[in-house]
Amino acid sequence: MKRSVSIAAAAAAAALALTACGGGTDDGSGTEERDLPETLTLGLVPSQDQDQLVEDAEVLGDLLGEELGVEVETSVSTDYAALVVAMQTEQADIGMFGPVALVQAVDQADAEAVLQSVRYGSSTYHTQWMTNDPDTYCLDEVVTETDDDGNEFAFCNGAEAVEGPTGEDALALVEQGTTISFVEEGSASGYYYPATQLAEVQGIDPLTDITSIYAGGHPNSVLNVVRGDAPIGVSFNDARAEVLEEEPDAGTEAVVFASSPEIPNDGVAVSGTFEDATTTQITDAFLALAESEEGLAALDAVYGIEGLEPADLDALDAARQVAANFGDAE
């Protein structure tokens, strides 16, 4: 299977070319919808290690290609914004996006959101708020829970609940100027949702009233809290498990004291240039992978996906509204 390591440069070049010629697919004259081509490009964005994702994506692309009877190239872009541009400029036919980027692909690239990931039996998740200062942010006793591997994880304010929001009384204690470790500015659980929640609970403008540091990944945000680089940090639940090899006590040193409202899981978008039958064919191929042992293993390898289900458009619309709070923020 062919692949390219990054589609960011190609997408940017294509965007410039479209601007230069005044063209593009949405020129008011309409474009002919496409059948399934002989080669498809599946775009992804690193969640942790890019090199590993490139390898895992190749396996997923091969299996998807076998289901569809065509070649599937896989490309790993630098970030979600680049992948949205790739969809917009037809450098990618299929994209796997976080929830905010998924609606951006729909709104900006005329893509169609078709599927959402399932983890732990749910198509939603939430931000966890962590602290290394439980004396300030824990309004009750710290409790610990032990996972199946014997690892301990600390919580307070009811934040161990399966669904959010929790601990919002504690979020009201966050003062202006506090340093908070976010993940990156395009992340739903690592920025958009927690920043929105903080603004609603405490009236703090996340763009001006706090000191934001961006960890570049959920595990890194956990480490920022564990190592004292920030008194508060956010990540998806429960990213602490991903740093235990490096920091064995991370589960108890970063105490989860609050959580955000539920967030729709990441999902799959298909180019809007395809005929409906082609979109259905691609969607069904992904669902078939999720029902096979080999396919599910490949989905798990790329993004920890345990299943797929039809996209919840209402939940994605809520994500759209959260993103709108930040204007043009990426």
SS3 117: strand
**Measured distance CA(250)–CA(227) in Å, rounded:** 9
**pTM for the structure as a whole:** 0.76
Rounded Cα distance, 301 and 62, in Å = 14
pLDDT of residue 27: 40
Q: Can you name the residues that pair with 72 across neighbouring β-strands? A: 40
pLDDT of residue 31: 55
pLDDT digit string (tens) for the chain, length 330 residues? 333 333 333 334 333 333 333 333 344 434 568 899 999 999 998 866 778 889 999 999 999 999 999 999 999 988 888 999 999 999 999 999 989 899 999 999 999 999 999 998 999 999 999 999 999 999 999 999 999 999 999 999 999 999 999 999 999 999 999 999 999 887 889 999 999 999 999 998 888 999 999 998 899 999 999 999 999 999 999 999 999 999 999 999 999 999 999 999 999 999 999 999 999 999 999 999 999 999 999 999 999 999 999 999 988 988 888 888 775 443
What is residue 326's predicted lDDT score, i.e. its pLDDT? 75
Alpha helices by DSSP H, listed for the chain, are: 8-21, 50-68, 80-88, 99-109, 134-137, 168-171, 193-202, 218-226, 250-253, 276-290, 293-303, 313-324
Residues 6+ apart with CB under 8 A from 74: 1, 3, 41, 42, 43, 44, 54, 57, 58, 60, 61
Integer Cα distance of 138 and 235 in angstroms: 18
All structural domains of the chain, each given as residue ranges with its CATH number in brackets, are 40-122+265-325 (3.40.190.10), 125-263 (3.40.190.10)
Please tell me the predicted confidence (pLDDT) of residue 17: 35
How far is residue 61's CA from residue 172's CA, in Å, rounded to a whole number?
46
Q: What does the chain come to in residues?
A: 330
Task: List, as one string, the DSSP characters of 203-246.
Answer: ---TTTSSEEEE-SSHHHHHHHHHTTS-SEEEEETTGGGGGTTT
Q: What pLDDT is attached to residue 48?
A: 61
Instruction: Tokens 């506090």: give the residue.
Output: 178
pLDDT on residue 59: 97
